[in-house]
Amino acid sequence: MCYNLAMSADPSPTLEDVARVAGVSRATVSRVVNQTRNVAPEIQEVVFRAVEATGYVPNRAARSLVTRRSEAVGVVVAGTNLSDSLHAGQFLTDPFFGRLLTGIIGALKPRGIFPALMLAENEADDVAITAYFKQGNADGALLISTYPDERLPELLAGVGRPSVRFARPARPAPVSYVDLAHREGGRMAAEHLASLGKRRPVAVSGPLEIPASLERQAGYEEGWARHGCAFVPTAEGGFTYDSGELAMKDLLDRAPDLDAVFAASDLMAQGAIHALHDAGRDVPGDVAVVGFDDSAPARISRPSITTIRQPLEAMAAEMVRLLLERIDQPSPEPTSVIFDPELIVRESA
Protein backbone atom coordinates (compact mmCIF):
# COMPACT_ATOMS: atom_id res chain seq x y z
CA MET A 1 0.00 0.00 0.00
CA CYS A 2 1.02 3.64 -0.09
CA TYR A 3 3.99 4.46 -2.25
CA ASN A 4 5.62 1.84 -4.30
CA LEU A 5 9.13 2.43 -5.52
CA ALA A 6 10.20 -0.07 -8.12
CA MET A 7 13.49 -1.84 -7.54
CA SER A 8 15.90 -1.82 -10.42
CA ALA A 9 15.80 -5.47 -11.41
CA ASP A 10 18.77 -5.13 -13.70
CA PRO A 11 20.04 -8.44 -14.98
CA SER A 12 23.59 -8.44 -13.70
CA PRO A 13 26.23 -8.46 -16.41
CA THR A 14 28.16 -11.68 -16.79
CA LEU A 15 31.73 -12.44 -17.70
CA GLU A 16 30.48 -12.93 -21.24
CA ASP A 17 29.14 -9.38 -21.33
CA VAL A 18 32.40 -7.94 -20.09
CA ALA A 19 34.33 -10.01 -22.60
CA ARG A 20 32.19 -8.69 -25.45
CA VAL A 21 32.65 -5.08 -24.36
CA ALA A 22 36.38 -5.54 -23.93
CA GLY A 23 36.74 -7.47 -27.17
CA VAL A 24 38.50 -10.40 -25.53
CA SER A 25 37.54 -13.89 -24.46
CA ARG A 26 35.73 -14.88 -21.31
CA ALA A 27 38.87 -16.63 -20.11
CA THR A 28 40.93 -13.48 -20.34
CA VAL A 29 38.44 -11.47 -18.31
CA SER A 30 38.43 -14.20 -15.70
CA ARG A 31 42.22 -14.08 -15.57
CA VAL A 32 42.27 -10.34 -15.08
CA VAL A 33 39.54 -10.34 -12.47
CA ASN A 34 41.16 -13.13 -10.48
CA GLN A 35 44.81 -12.16 -11.08
CA THR A 36 45.34 -15.76 -11.97
CA ARG A 37 47.82 -15.58 -14.85
CA ASN A 38 49.89 -13.06 -16.73
CA VAL A 39 47.89 -10.81 -19.00
CA ALA A 40 49.39 -8.03 -21.12
CA PRO A 41 49.08 -4.70 -19.28
CA GLU A 42 47.22 -2.97 -22.10
CA ILE A 43 44.65 -5.76 -22.23
CA GLN A 44 44.24 -5.63 -18.47
CA GLU A 45 43.52 -1.95 -18.82
CA VAL A 46 40.85 -2.62 -21.45
CA VAL A 47 39.27 -5.30 -19.30
CA PHE A 48 39.20 -3.15 -16.19
CA ARG A 49 37.54 -0.42 -18.18
CA ALA A 50 34.93 -2.89 -19.40
CA VAL A 51 34.30 -4.16 -15.87
CA GLU A 52 33.82 -0.58 -14.77
CA ALA A 53 31.52 0.20 -17.66
CA THR A 54 29.29 -2.82 -17.19
CA GLY A 55 29.31 -2.74 -13.39
CA TYR A 56 30.34 -6.36 -13.41
CA VAL A 57 30.50 -8.30 -10.17
CA PRO A 58 31.31 -12.00 -10.23
CA ASN A 59 28.46 -14.36 -9.41
CA ARG A 60 29.40 -16.20 -6.26
CA ALA A 61 27.23 -19.23 -6.93
CA ALA A 62 28.76 -19.87 -10.31
CA ARG A 63 32.24 -19.45 -8.92
CA SER A 64 31.50 -21.67 -5.94
CA LEU A 65 30.10 -24.35 -8.18
CA VAL A 66 33.45 -24.85 -9.85
CA THR A 67 35.88 -23.90 -7.10
CA ARG A 68 33.96 -25.80 -4.45
CA ARG A 69 34.54 -22.95 -2.06
CA SER A 70 31.86 -20.76 -0.61
CA GLU A 71 34.21 -18.11 0.76
CA ALA A 72 32.07 -18.09 3.85
CA VAL A 73 32.63 -19.21 7.41
CA GLY A 74 30.32 -19.89 10.29
CA VAL A 75 30.60 -18.83 13.89
CA VAL A 76 28.96 -21.45 16.04
CA VAL A 77 27.99 -20.51 19.55
CA ALA A 78 27.36 -23.67 21.50
CA GLY A 79 26.92 -24.80 25.04
CA THR A 80 23.94 -22.79 26.09
CA ASN A 81 22.68 -25.82 27.94
CA LEU A 82 25.43 -25.43 30.47
CA SER A 83 23.39 -23.32 32.83
CA ASP A 84 20.65 -20.76 32.66
CA SER A 85 23.02 -17.92 33.28
CA LEU A 86 24.75 -18.71 30.03
CA HIS A 87 21.61 -18.93 27.97
CA ALA A 88 22.10 -18.05 24.32
CA GLY A 89 20.69 -14.53 24.32
CA GLN A 90 22.45 -13.98 27.57
CA PHE A 91 25.75 -15.20 26.28
CA LEU A 92 25.51 -12.98 23.24
CA THR A 93 25.34 -9.99 25.56
CA ASP A 94 28.43 -10.90 27.51
CA PRO A 95 31.01 -8.17 26.90
CA PHE A 96 33.57 -10.93 26.55
CA PHE A 97 31.64 -12.37 23.64
CA GLY A 98 31.14 -8.95 22.10
CA ARG A 99 34.86 -8.36 22.03
CA LEU A 100 35.53 -11.79 20.58
CA LEU A 101 32.88 -11.51 17.90
CA THR A 102 33.97 -8.02 16.94
CA GLY A 103 37.51 -9.36 16.65
CA ILE A 104 36.35 -12.18 14.40
CA ILE A 105 34.36 -9.89 12.15
CA GLY A 106 37.28 -7.52 11.92
CA ALA A 107 39.75 -10.25 11.02
CA LEU A 108 37.42 -11.64 8.36
CA LYS A 109 36.62 -8.30 6.77
CA PRO A 110 39.79 -8.00 4.66
CA ARG A 111 38.81 -11.23 2.93
CA GLY A 112 35.34 -9.90 2.24
CA ILE A 113 33.80 -12.54 4.46
CA PHE A 114 30.91 -11.98 6.82
CA PRO A 115 30.44 -14.83 9.26
CA ALA A 116 27.16 -16.69 9.54
CA LEU A 117 26.04 -16.81 13.14
CA MET A 118 24.64 -20.06 14.51
CA LEU A 119 23.45 -21.16 17.90
CA ALA A 120 23.83 -24.82 18.77
CA GLU A 121 21.54 -25.51 21.68
CA ASN A 122 20.85 -29.21 21.21
CA GLU A 123 21.67 -32.22 19.09
CA ALA A 124 19.08 -31.33 16.48
CA ASP A 125 20.92 -28.05 16.00
CA ASP A 126 24.20 -29.91 15.61
CA VAL A 127 22.66 -31.96 12.82
CA ALA A 128 21.14 -28.94 11.11
CA ILE A 129 24.42 -27.07 11.31
CA THR A 130 26.36 -30.02 9.94
CA ALA A 131 23.95 -30.29 7.01
CA TYR A 132 24.36 -26.58 6.42
CA PHE A 133 28.09 -27.00 6.09
CA LYS A 134 27.76 -30.11 3.96
CA GLN A 135 25.59 -28.21 1.50
CA GLY A 136 28.56 -25.98 0.92
CA ASN A 137 27.21 -22.91 2.63
CA ALA A 138 30.43 -22.35 4.51
CA ASP A 139 33.98 -23.63 4.27
CA GLY A 140 34.80 -23.83 7.94
CA ALA A 141 33.68 -23.04 11.45
CA LEU A 142 34.81 -20.99 14.39
CA LEU A 143 33.54 -22.68 17.52
CA ILE A 144 32.80 -20.80 20.69
CA SER A 145 31.56 -23.27 23.17
CA THR A 146 31.15 -23.86 26.83
CA TYR A 147 29.64 -27.24 26.37
CA PRO A 148 31.92 -29.96 27.68
CA ASP A 149 30.61 -32.64 25.35
CA GLU A 150 31.34 -31.09 22.00
CA ARG A 151 30.41 -33.28 19.03
CA LEU A 152 30.50 -30.58 16.41
CA PRO A 153 34.20 -30.72 15.48
CA GLU A 154 33.91 -34.39 14.62
CA LEU A 155 30.66 -33.91 12.74
CA LEU A 156 32.14 -31.08 10.72
CA ALA A 157 35.34 -32.95 10.02
CA GLY A 158 33.11 -35.77 8.79
CA VAL A 159 31.77 -33.50 6.06
CA GLY A 160 35.20 -32.18 5.24
CA ARG A 161 34.98 -28.84 7.04
CA PRO A 162 37.79 -27.70 9.30
CA SER A 163 37.01 -25.91 12.52
CA VAL A 164 38.91 -23.91 15.07
CA ARG A 165 37.75 -23.70 18.62
CA PHE A 166 38.02 -20.93 21.13
CA ALA A 167 39.38 -22.52 24.29
CA ARG A 168 40.66 -26.01 24.85
CA PRO A 169 37.86 -28.57 24.79
CA ALA A 170 36.85 -29.96 28.17
CA ARG A 171 37.47 -33.48 26.95
CA PRO A 172 40.37 -34.31 24.67
CA ALA A 173 39.31 -33.97 21.06
CA PRO A 174 41.17 -33.62 17.76
CA VAL A 175 40.38 -29.93 17.21
CA SER A 176 42.56 -26.93 16.66
CA TYR A 177 42.10 -24.30 19.29
CA VAL A 178 43.26 -20.95 20.55
CA ASP A 179 43.42 -20.37 24.26
CA LEU A 180 44.87 -18.34 27.09
CA ALA A 181 47.30 -19.44 29.77
CA HIS A 182 44.53 -19.23 32.33
CA ARG A 183 46.55 -20.74 35.15
CA GLU A 184 49.19 -18.11 34.65
CA GLY A 185 46.46 -15.48 34.77
CA GLY A 186 45.17 -16.75 38.09
CA ARG A 187 48.68 -16.80 39.47
CA MET A 188 49.24 -13.20 38.36
CA ALA A 189 46.11 -12.10 40.19
CA ALA A 190 47.29 -13.75 43.42
CA GLU A 191 50.76 -12.34 43.03
CA HIS A 192 49.48 -8.83 42.54
CA LEU A 193 47.13 -9.02 45.50
CA ALA A 194 49.87 -10.46 47.68
CA SER A 195 52.26 -7.70 46.61
CA LEU A 196 49.65 -5.25 47.89
CA GLY A 197 50.04 -6.78 51.33
CA LYS A 198 46.76 -8.63 51.30
CA ARG A 199 46.64 -11.90 53.18
CA ARG A 200 43.02 -13.06 53.40
CA PRO A 201 42.04 -13.89 49.80
CA VAL A 202 38.80 -15.26 48.43
CA ALA A 203 37.71 -16.14 44.90
CA VAL A 204 34.61 -15.82 42.80
CA SER A 205 35.21 -18.54 40.26
CA GLY A 206 33.50 -19.25 36.96
CA PRO A 207 31.45 -22.41 36.40
CA LEU A 208 33.78 -25.23 37.34
CA GLU A 209 32.71 -27.45 34.43
CA ILE A 210 34.69 -25.10 32.22
CA PRO A 211 38.42 -25.80 31.99
CA ALA A 212 39.22 -22.09 31.88
CA SER A 213 37.48 -21.56 35.22
CA LEU A 214 39.31 -24.46 36.81
CA GLU A 215 42.66 -23.27 35.52
CA ARG A 216 42.22 -19.71 36.69
CA GLN A 217 41.19 -20.96 40.09
CA ALA A 218 44.07 -23.42 40.29
CA GLY A 219 46.57 -20.74 39.34
CA TYR A 220 45.12 -18.36 41.89
CA GLU A 221 45.31 -20.95 44.66
CA GLU A 222 48.80 -21.95 43.64
CA GLY A 223 49.87 -18.32 43.74
CA TRP A 224 48.59 -17.91 47.26
CA ALA A 225 50.09 -21.21 48.33
CA ARG A 226 53.47 -19.72 47.49
CA HIS A 227 52.69 -17.07 50.09
CA GLY A 228 51.72 -19.57 52.72
CA CYS A 229 48.02 -19.22 52.25
CA ALA A 230 46.77 -22.79 52.18
CA PHE A 231 43.05 -22.24 51.85
CA VAL A 232 41.10 -19.85 49.65
CA PRO A 233 37.35 -19.60 50.30
CA THR A 234 35.65 -19.80 46.93
CA ALA A 235 32.14 -19.25 45.61
CA GLU A 236 31.16 -20.34 42.14
CA GLY A 237 29.54 -17.83 39.80
CA GLY A 238 28.22 -17.94 36.25
CA PHE A 239 30.29 -15.13 34.71
CA THR A 240 27.41 -12.67 35.07
CA TYR A 241 27.14 -9.46 37.06
CA ASP A 242 24.46 -10.83 39.34
CA SER A 243 26.17 -14.13 40.00
CA GLY A 244 29.22 -12.12 41.06
CA GLU A 245 27.18 -10.04 43.45
CA LEU A 246 25.54 -13.11 44.91
CA ALA A 247 28.80 -15.00 45.30
CA MET A 248 30.38 -12.03 47.04
CA LYS A 249 27.53 -11.82 49.55
CA ASP A 250 28.06 -15.49 50.27
CA LEU A 251 31.79 -15.00 50.75
CA LEU A 252 31.24 -12.03 53.07
CA ASP A 253 29.21 -14.34 55.27
CA ARG A 254 31.76 -17.12 55.19
CA ALA A 255 34.90 -15.01 55.50
CA PRO A 256 33.97 -11.61 56.94
CA ASP A 257 37.58 -10.52 57.36
CA LEU A 258 38.53 -11.04 53.69
CA ASP A 259 40.76 -8.41 52.13
CA ALA A 260 41.33 -9.63 48.55
CA VAL A 261 39.01 -10.89 45.84
CA PHE A 262 39.75 -12.49 42.50
CA ALA A 263 36.71 -12.68 40.23
CA ALA A 264 37.01 -14.82 37.11
CA SER A 265 35.35 -12.18 34.91
CA ASP A 266 35.08 -8.40 34.96
CA LEU A 267 31.33 -8.61 35.07
CA MET A 268 31.50 -10.72 38.24
CA ALA A 269 34.12 -8.33 39.64
CA GLN A 270 31.68 -5.50 39.06
CA GLY A 271 28.96 -7.40 40.87
CA ALA A 272 31.34 -8.25 43.69
CA ILE A 273 32.37 -4.62 44.12
CA HIS A 274 28.71 -3.69 44.28
CA ALA A 275 28.14 -6.23 47.02
CA LEU A 276 31.23 -5.03 48.89
CA HIS A 277 29.97 -1.45 48.76
CA ASP A 278 26.60 -2.57 50.04
CA ALA A 279 28.40 -4.23 52.93
CA GLY A 280 30.17 -0.98 53.69
CA ARG A 281 33.59 -2.10 52.50
CA ASP A 282 35.77 0.31 50.61
CA VAL A 283 37.39 -0.83 47.37
CA PRO A 284 40.36 -0.86 47.20
CA GLY A 285 40.85 0.50 50.73
CA ASP A 286 39.39 -2.41 52.70
CA VAL A 287 39.26 -4.99 49.95
CA ALA A 288 41.22 -5.21 46.71
CA VAL A 289 39.46 -6.72 43.71
CA VAL A 290 40.97 -8.20 40.56
CA GLY A 291 38.83 -9.15 37.59
CA PHE A 292 39.47 -11.09 34.40
CA ASP A 293 39.15 -10.35 30.67
CA ASP A 294 39.70 -6.61 30.49
CA SER A 295 36.39 -6.00 28.79
CA ALA A 296 34.58 -2.67 28.69
CA PRO A 297 33.14 -2.82 32.24
CA ALA A 298 36.67 -3.00 33.68
CA ARG A 299 37.64 0.28 32.07
CA ILE A 300 34.40 2.13 32.53
CA SER A 301 33.08 1.26 35.97
CA ARG A 302 34.03 3.15 39.11
CA PRO A 303 36.29 2.18 40.63
CA SER A 304 37.87 0.98 37.41
CA ILE A 305 38.83 -2.65 37.74
CA THR A 306 42.33 -4.07 37.92
CA THR A 307 42.14 -7.09 35.69
CA ILE A 308 43.89 -9.91 33.87
CA ARG A 309 43.66 -9.08 30.20
CA GLN A 310 42.83 -11.67 27.57
CA PRO A 311 44.03 -10.40 24.18
CA LEU A 312 40.73 -11.40 22.61
CA GLU A 313 41.15 -9.44 19.40
CA ALA A 314 44.51 -11.08 18.76
CA MET A 315 43.06 -14.45 19.69
CA ALA A 316 40.14 -13.94 17.34
CA ALA A 317 42.52 -12.95 14.58
CA GLU A 318 44.57 -16.07 15.23
CA MET A 319 41.47 -18.26 15.09
CA VAL A 320 40.59 -16.73 11.74
CA ARG A 321 44.14 -17.17 10.49
CA LEU A 322 44.24 -20.83 11.52
CA LEU A 323 40.86 -21.51 9.97
CA LEU A 324 41.61 -19.83 6.65
CA GLU A 325 44.94 -21.66 6.53
CA ARG A 326 43.17 -24.97 7.07
CA ILE A 327 40.60 -24.10 4.42
CA ASP A 328 43.22 -23.10 1.87
CA GLN A 329 45.21 -26.27 2.26
CA PRO A 330 43.48 -28.87 4.35
CA SER A 331 46.37 -30.04 6.45
CA PRO A 332 44.14 -31.75 8.92
CA GLU A 333 46.54 -31.72 11.82
CA PRO A 334 44.98 -29.99 14.80
CA THR A 335 47.13 -27.32 16.34
CA SER A 336 46.90 -25.04 19.33
CA VAL A 337 48.01 -21.51 20.09
CA ILE A 338 48.22 -20.22 23.64
CA PHE A 339 48.27 -16.52 24.43
CA ASP A 340 49.67 -14.91 27.55
CA PRO A 341 47.52 -12.93 29.94
CA GLU A 342 48.56 -9.47 31.07
CA LEU A 343 47.98 -7.70 34.35
CA ILE A 344 46.25 -4.37 33.89
CA VAL A 345 46.46 -2.34 37.09
CA ARG A 346 43.63 0.10 37.68
CA GLU A 347 41.86 1.44 40.74
CA SER A 348 40.26 -1.62 42.31
CA ALA A 349 43.57 -3.27 43.30
* Residue 76 φ then ψ, to 5°: -105, 120
Determine which residue in the list 34, 135, 231, 286 makes contact with a copy of itself, applying CB under 8 A: 135
Nearer to a copy of itself, 158 or 256 (CB): 158
CB 87: neighbour CB atoms within 10 A? 14
Does residue 7 belong to the site contacting a copy of itself (CB under 8 A)?
Answer: yes
| Cβ burial 267-297 (10 Å sphere, 16+ → b, else e) | bbbbbbbbbbeeeebebbeebbbbbbbbbeb
For residue 34, the minimal CB distance to DNA (Å) is 5
Determine which residue in the list 61, 197, 228, 230 makes contact with a copy of itself, applying CB under 8 A: 61
Chain center to CA of 238: 18
Query: Binds 39, which of a copy of itself, DNA, none (CB < 5 to 8 A, cut-off by type)?
Result: DNA
**How far is residue 254's CA from residue 248's CA, in Å, rounded to a whole number?**
10
**Whether the bond into 303 is cis, omega within 30 of 0:** yes
* Residue 33 φ then ψ, to 5°: -60, -40
* Residue 37 φ then ψ, to 5°: -160, 160
Query: Binds 300, which of DNA, a copy of itself, none (CB < 5 to 8 A, cut-off by type)?
Result: a copy of itself
Nearer to a copy of itself, 103 or 185 (CB): 103
Nearer to DNA, 43 or 255 (CB): 43
Closest to 69 measured CA to CA, from 56, 58, 77: 58
* Residues lying near DNA in the complex (CB under 7 A): 11-12, 14-16, 24-28, 30-31, 33-34, 36-40, 43, 56, 58-59, 62-63, 65-67
* Residues lying near a copy of itself in the complex (CB under 8 A): 1-10, 12, 57-62, 64-65, 70, 72, 74-75, 88-90, 92-95, 97-99, 101-102, 105, 109, 112, 114-119, 128-129, 131-132, 134-137, 157-158, 160, 162, 174, 242, 274, 296, 300-301, 330-335
